[in-house]
Amino acid sequence: MSKRVRVNIPGVRVNETGCRVLRIIAERSGCEHGRRCAEVQLAHRDIAQAAAVSVPTVIRTLAALRDCELVIVRDNVQPNGARLPNGYELTALGLEVIRMAEELGTFAE
Global confidence as pTM: 0.83
Confidence check: pLDDT of 35 > 70:
no
CA distances, 7 to each of 33, 76, 77, 93, 94 (Å) = 17, 32, 35, 11, 11
CATH topology of domain 4-103: Arc Repressor Mutant, subunit A (1.10.10)
Give the H or E element holding residue 55: helix 55-67
Write down the pLDDT at residue 11.
75
pLDDT value, residue 8: 58
Q: What pLDDT band is residue 32 in, cutting at 50, 70 and 90?
A: low
| pLDDT score at 6 | 57
pLDDT tens-digit readout, 76-86: 888 888 888 99
Helix (H) or strand (E) holding 73: strand 71-77
pLDDT at 92 over 80: yes
